[in-house]
Each structure stands twice: as C-alpha cells, then as structure tokens.
Structure 1
C-alpha cells in the first residue's frame, strides 16, 4: 500500500514538473515512460494552475480594478506553465494555417519561429479570454477559472486516449501510449470535480433545476463542440495528435468553457426578462 502511494505521488510530481514551472524533486532513475502513467493527474495540475490564477484574481481584486485583476490572473497561469499550452496553440495554428499536407504541417510546427497564423491565434484567444473573464459575474469567476483549467486538460487527456501520436519524436512522445481505462477514470474525476464549485457559486442566486440543466447544457455543448471540432481537424490533417495539438486543445476548450458559462448567464437574464 505504501509503495503504491509513493509511486502515485511520484507520478503526480512528474506531471507537475512536466506541465508547470513549480519546482519538484529530481528523480535520478526517471524513465520517460513514467510520464504516461502521469496522464491521470493532468486535470489535477489544471486545478493547481487554476487555483493560483484564482488566488491572484482575489488578491489583486482587493487593490486593482476588476479588469486589471483578470489580466494579472491570466499572467499568473501563463507564468506557472511557462506558456506551454499557448506555445502549442501558436505552433498548431502556424502548421495548420500554412501547411498543405501532413509532412509540411509537421515541419512548420517544429519551427520555433512565430508565424502570422500563430500570432493571430495567440492574440485572439488571449483577448477573448480577457473579455469573457471580465464579463463573468464576480461571485463565480474564481471558481470558473479553476474548473476551466481542470476540464480543458481533461479534454486533452481524452484526445490522447482516442487518437494516436503521429511523430517519431517530440515533447509529447513520452505521453504517447494509450491511456488506460482506470487512469481515464481518475482523470475524469479530477477534471469534473471543480465544477461543483461553479454550481455552488451559482446556487447563491436561488436557482432551480431548470437553471442547473441550462448551465450544464451551456458549458457541455460549448466545450463538446470545440473539442470535437479540434479533434476532427487534427485527425483529418495529421491522422492523430502532437504535443502542440494537445496544448491547442487545452487553450481552445478552456476558452469554450468560459463562453459556455457566460452564455448561461445571458440565457438566464433573457428568461428573467420575459
């Protein structure tokens, strides 16, 4: 039992060290294959990143205007991950925007230079995040942040579980084995658990069952559509995923979650005005 707990703790630390800048112990006997066993903890890493962003949002909100607090919160999450996922988004946009076949797309993705498509994608996604977060109700914003970072990483895990890695080598190669059913279950638990906080924050407005159903449909349709669209696109052009594609998946579905939750509040205001 103790050895099992130590092993899982090791897998968690490996996930934290791989996806964030948080210092973790150096394992002298580390093997790349171990990262595949860490996949179950990717949404938990999202909870940590989202919680850091939420903490900055709350603390900065005591001093600065709300929009400045949102900006500092975004900067915190980007710093914690070293822009890991944003880099994947930019590389994916450059590859799919400038390539005309699989090999050309992969070649462009490997280029460290930022192209027009990547710059546009980064600007539009970051600007959209800022606008959506600034528009969300203050009482739910911190919880939405945590849930979005966890759920978006869960979406990336599902893409790993349902697609194949398409490169002979790369930053996601150690993660390329199929995710086991048990690991997928654990990842799903961590990915969905923070949603409880979102529903709890919404409950302060005396909502009924109809509102909970509407909230669920709003984020589920938004995230589901975005995740399906991205999965279909990379499967069509690449036949599977790369590390950059997973980073882009996280960014796209995180943005989609904010859009879905904001749509819920818009629907509620519309229904209450009728």
Structure 2
C-alpha cells in the first residue's frame, strides 16, 4: 500500500472513531478526545453500527441470567430491554417519540420541526414508544431461549444502527442549526465502510439471515427516509434515532420468524 492509499485509509477510518462513537451513542464513561472527535465529524460515523454490539451483549447477558433463574421469557426480554435503554440513555427511543409527535402532530414543515424540538411528549410519541417496546419485547421472548440468540442480537444491534449513517449521508439536514448541521454529513466512502462492516459481521455470524434482513430493513429505511423528506425536507437527530428503532423492530421480527 503506497503512502497516498495509507493517508486515504487513515482519513476514512481511525481507531479513535470507535470510542468517540461509544461516547456519543451510549452512557458509558468513555474518555474521548473532544477536539479530535469534533474534527473528524461525520467521518467517524462508520463506527456507529459497531456500538450496537454493546447494548446487544448487555441485553443478552441480563436476559440469560433471568432465564436461568427461571423467569418467563417475556420477563427476561423486558429486563434486557431495561438494561439496553439505560446503556443508551434512551437516545433512540427519544428520537422515535419526538419524530412521531412532530411528523404527525404538525400540519406544515416549520411546525413539525418545532414539535420535534419540544422536550414534552404527546400522544403520538407515547403510542410509538409503547408499540416499539411491545414489539421488541415479544420478539425477544421468542429469540432469547433459542440457540444462537447472542449472535442474532449482535447482528440486530449493528444492522439497526446502519440506517442512521445512511440517512445522515443521503438526506439533507432539515434544520440550519443543531448538532447534525455542525457535525456534517458522512460521504459515500464512510457509508460504504459502515455498510461493508455490517454485511461482513452478518455473513460471519448469521449468513442465513442476510437476504431477508436486507430486503425488510432496506424497505423500512426507505420508508423512514421518504416520510422525513416529504414532511420536514430531510433528516434530524430525532429522525436518525427513529430509523434505528424502526429497523430494530424489523430485524427482530425477521429473526423471530426465522428462528422460531
């Protein structure tokens, strides 16, 4: 590899991007060089899907202990979800509820964005959260007792965070301010690297699931993208969080159907 190629690879992916992604997407006390993280901006988004393995493994660990203690599968799934939500600070759930309130609670673009920025939660947000948690818990109750559950959950963790990178890179910012505007948008190379990592991990851990995951999760991502573009003209941090939640529900449904 020549010096030019090495410089390109260093610009595309750096090890420091991983702790920066963990610090951004979880509540784990990770030391991050803020100056470097800000300088990297959206280039570091390739590492976002990798972070999904952390809450996935935590969920599996707690749920496994609950199952071994004799608790019902649904209880184990709910306890696992509790740990997952704590680890991520309910960041993605917050994005889902804000998106639901804004996209369906306003009648024009400006009002929708105002609602999404409001910290209060409305009926649409509450309903979206209830349905998300219910669908996730019931699918997990099917998956967790089965052999290979740990690998399925890791794949789901990665797959569900890929749309955040893809939507951030492919849709314009819906606002002229905010974190997404200042961080920038990941380029095609960053999106390609993130997609390749997810594909490789899926092929290694659960090759039998890659085709249905690709079809179902791609459809969900396209639907979220079309809805966001049509109603607010692009993406926000809330839309990215909502895309994670929608994809996680769909990926759980795929594994529950394939593994049952």
State the TM-score, normalizing by the size of structure 1.
0.83
| C-alpha deviation, 1:118, in angstroms | 0.2
Partner of 1:209: none
Instruction: Kindly report the root-mean-square deviation, in angstroms, between the aligned alpha carbons of the 2 structures.
Output: 2.4
**C-alpha separation in 2, matches of 1:246 and 1:29:** 24
Deviates more, 1:191-200 or 1:108-117: 191-200
Question: Cα distance 1:245–1:87, how it changes in 2: closer, same or farther (>3 A)?
Answer: same
Equivalent residue runs for 1:111-122 within 5 Å: 111-122=118-129
Instruction: Supply the distance in 1 between the matched residues of 2:51 and 2:37 (Cα, whole angstroms).
Output: 20
For normalisation by structure 2, the TM-score amounts to 0.87
Deviation at 1:109, TM superposition (A): 0.2
Q: Supply the distance in 1 between the matched residues of 2:255 and 2:189 (Cα, whole angstroms).
A: 29
CA contact (8 A) 2:152 2:206 kept: no
2:168 is the alignment partner of 1:160: yes
1:89·1:122 contact (CA, 8 Å) conserved in 2?
A: yes
State the match for 1:63 in structure 2. Answer: 69
Question: Which range is displaced more, 53-62 or 110-119?
Answer: 53-62
Residue matched to 1:85: 92
Q: Which residue of 1 aligns with 2:108?
A: 101
Task: Report the Cα distance in structure 2 between the residues aligned to 1:64 and 1:34, rounded to whole angstroms.
Answer: 47
Question: Partners of 2:130 and 2:116 in 1: how far apart?
Answer: 18
Q: How far 1:264 sits from its partner (Å)?
A: 3.0
Question: Does residue 1:41 correspond to 2:47, yes or no?
Answer: yes
> Aligned-pair distance for 1:33?
4.2
Gaps of 5+ in 1: 201-211, 267-274
Q: C-alpha distance in 2, partners of 1:45/1:264?
A: 25
Q: Tell me which moved more, 157-166 or 50-59.
A: 50-59
CA distance in 2 between counterparts of 1:29 and 1:265 reads 45
Alpha-carbon distance in structure 1 between the residues aligned to 2:34 and 2:20: 12
Gaps of 5+ in 2: 1-5
Displacement of 1:197 after TM fit?
A: 5.7
- Give per-residue Cα distances to partners, 1:86-105, cap 9 Å, x unaligned: 00000000001101111010
**1:140 aligned residue:** 148
Distance 1:260 1:73, change over 3 A: same
Residue 226 of structure 1: which of 220, 237, 252 is its match?
220
SS in 2 for 1:100: coil
Q: Give SS of 1:172's match.
A: helix
Asked whether the equivalents of residues 167 and 173 of structure 1 are also in contact (C-alpha less than 8 Å), the reply is yes
Show the counterpart of 2:246.
252
How many residues are aligned here? 251
